[in-house]
Amino acid sequence: MRGRLTAVPLFLGLALLAAPAAQAMDPMAVMADACAGCHGTDGASLGAMPPFNTKSADELKKLLREYKSGVREATVMDRIVKGYTDPQLDGMIDYYKKK
């Protein structure tokens, strides 16, 4: 019991130490991480998921807007894009294009 009680403040202390490192990360990198699971870490996915490296940034941004408005049919992207603002979507595409 005693061991468990001392472990909690220790954990909180470590979490506070780690916080500044997390803040220093590019916020767009954190957001774009959500896409990497399907599209590959550098946007160069293999297999069924469309890669980002075969189309221009403008084309990709246009596709995302079309998924959002419902003009373009999709299996998953129509739902995913609704969770982001247009500037966030553009930022993620720019992030992958920079890599």
Nearest to 54 by CA among 66, 35, 39: 39
**Closest CB to ligand HEC among 12 and 85?**
85
Task: Enumerate residues 6+ apart whose C-beta is below 8 A from 92.
Answer: 28, 31, 32, 35, 84
Quote the tokens at residue 60: 């990709």
Residue selected from 40, 53, 65, 74 as contacting ligand HEC according to rule CB under 6 A: 74
CB atoms inside a 10 Å sphere around CB 96:
22
- Binding ligand HEC by CB under 6 A: which of 13, 76, 97, 99? 76
- Exactly one of 55, 65, 66, 94 binds ligand HEC (CB under 6 A); that residue is 55
**Rounded-to-integer distance, Cα 35 and Cα 11, Å:** 30
Closer CB to ligand HEC, 15 or 44, in the complex: 44
Contact between 28 and ligand HEC per CB under 6 A: no
Least CB distance from residue 40 to ligand HEC, whole Å? 10
